[in-house]
Amino acid sequence: MSRCHRTFHTVLMFGILLLFVFTTIAVFTYNDSDFWKTASPILSTKPSPYDNSPLCNCQNTEPANKYVSVDELEDFRKRRAEEYRQHQIRMGKQNDVLLLAPANTPLQYPIKGFRVSPLKKTLIPGLALQTQNRKLYKVSLRVHKGVLSVMDIQGGEHVDGQNEQTLTISSSSLHQLNDLLSRVTYTSTVYHIKTEDLGLFSFENYKVTFPIEIRRLSVPVLFDPGKDINSQVTILVKAFLRYKELNVLIRSIRQFYPNIKIIIADDSHDPEKVVGDNIQHYIMPPAQGWFAGRNLAVSQVTTKYFLWVDDDFVFLNETRIESFVKIMEAVPELDVVGGDVGGNQFLFKLDYEEGNREEGGCITRVMGSHAPLPGFDGCYFADGVVNYFMGRTDAVRRVGFDPFLKRVAHTEFFIDGLGDLLVVTCKGLRIGHQERHSTNIYNQYRYPPQSDSQQKMRHHYFKNHLKCIKY
């Protein structure tokens, strides 16, 4: 046999040997029932600010950081990264974990809904062991942000690790062991109003993990709806220069709702007096902007809901505030219900990818809705609606209107509220739009220079941790 053939023969035999070894291991692993017993639950974290999450891509869109000057970009990025890190902590992102239950286990444990108050001892519900006869039953529990104990231990009960992070319980009686497990308590040792711990529960080679929610109880904040529409809804208006249109709007409101409260936030240069019963007219410094006025108006609402209208809208016979209220009362989860302005319903979705922690996310506005609202024909879930909507006062206050955005801003409110506000739009909720009579000075503010749009993109790059926005 030649040297070449001997080398080939040796390599071939070595390959066959490796194949045999791997095949044997695979068969052994698959058939060995102990393998499944020792398999612990998979604990994996969702993407966090410390993970290298995939990049997002806004095609054919300029990056938002384009409008940050080159000499300050690096420092701007560092400040943004630190603010994003702190935001993730405040939102509890470090507690977002994915728990996968093992295929088979004799351990019983809470999988959801176990909530404790910080620093207070609480019984852990549902702990138990269900298994075949053993001479000795022994389980252990371990936590990280608290201590464990068994209440009312009697003589002859074997418990190790009282008031420590690791607790071991053993007994020759399964009944006694389960009685002890029913008395296990958890006490957090870390004060935090909103965080989470994980409990590790094990028996022999079985291991499970369950979440422990540490949460300071919050007090309900309720609005008395009263007995009529006037005690349920406040009408809000942001006014700027257009007093003729504003007075037309007020007269149309009073035609249908003589007693409903109207709040006006006005940042005109030379404010005029607005007269009428049950009208609150707030004068702002000149040209403070669209969202600053909205914030002021919403801050003064004392009713459960508010109806947002522009100063050049006009109430019609079909403008029925009661229809908004009926929908929101029937579906308490809703935060915003949009209507129709002069035949324009204008509804959109926001496609958002979180992106990675270095570059940030990508957001694209797409016209359309998500799905119909069950039980209400013509109502659809969306992420944003036209500038005529009813808002749940407490929910909208939590999101707020960014006063940095002075001129052209609407979608931006719904970007800030994405994931926090449940929004629908409904056909038939109509209001009219007056004929436009804009003056030169009004147009100067209504259509700002390109530099304002560039500053807005720079703002979103930092504030919303966005790589790009596409409208």
Model confidence pLDDT, tens digit, residues 197-246: 999 999 999 999 999 999 998 888 888 888 899 999 999 999 998 999 99
Question: Residue 447: which residues within 8 A CB-CB, separation 6 or more?
Answer: 407, 408
CATH classification of 105-215 is 2.60.40, yes or no? yes
Question: Does the global pTM surpass 0.85?
Answer: no
pLDDT of residue 425: 97
Q: How far apart are CA 445 and CA 269, in angstroms?
A: 12
| Pairing state between β 379-382 and 279-283 | unpaired
Mean pLDDT for 175-199 is 95
Handedness of CA 150, 155, 157, 160 (dihedral sign): positive
pLDDT of residue 27: 33
Q: Please check the confidence at residue 101 and state whether its pLDDT lies above 80.
A: no
> Among 63-72, 118-127, 129-138, 374-383, whose mean pLDDT is lowest?
63-72
In contact, 131 and 206? CB cutoff 8 Å = no
Using the structure block, give the residue that is written with the tokens 């790589």: 467
Q: Please check the confidence at residue 51 and state whether its pLDDT lies above 90.
A: no
- Provide the 8-state DSSP code for 300: T
Mean pLDDT for 269-294 is 93
Q: How far apart are CA 443 and CA 21, in angstroms?
A: 80
List where CATH 3.90.550.10 sits in the chain. 229-470
Q: How far apart are CA 471 and CA 451, in angstroms?
A: 18
pLDDT of residue 167: 98
Mean pLDDT for 150-154 is 94
Longest dimension (CA), the chain: 112
**Structure token digits, residue 20:** 């045999």
pLDDT of residue 277: 94
Q: Please check the confidence at residue 88 and state whether its pLDDT lies above 90.
A: no
List where CATH 2.60.40 sits in the chain. 105-215
CATH architecture of the domain formed by 229-470: Alpha-Beta Complex (3.90)
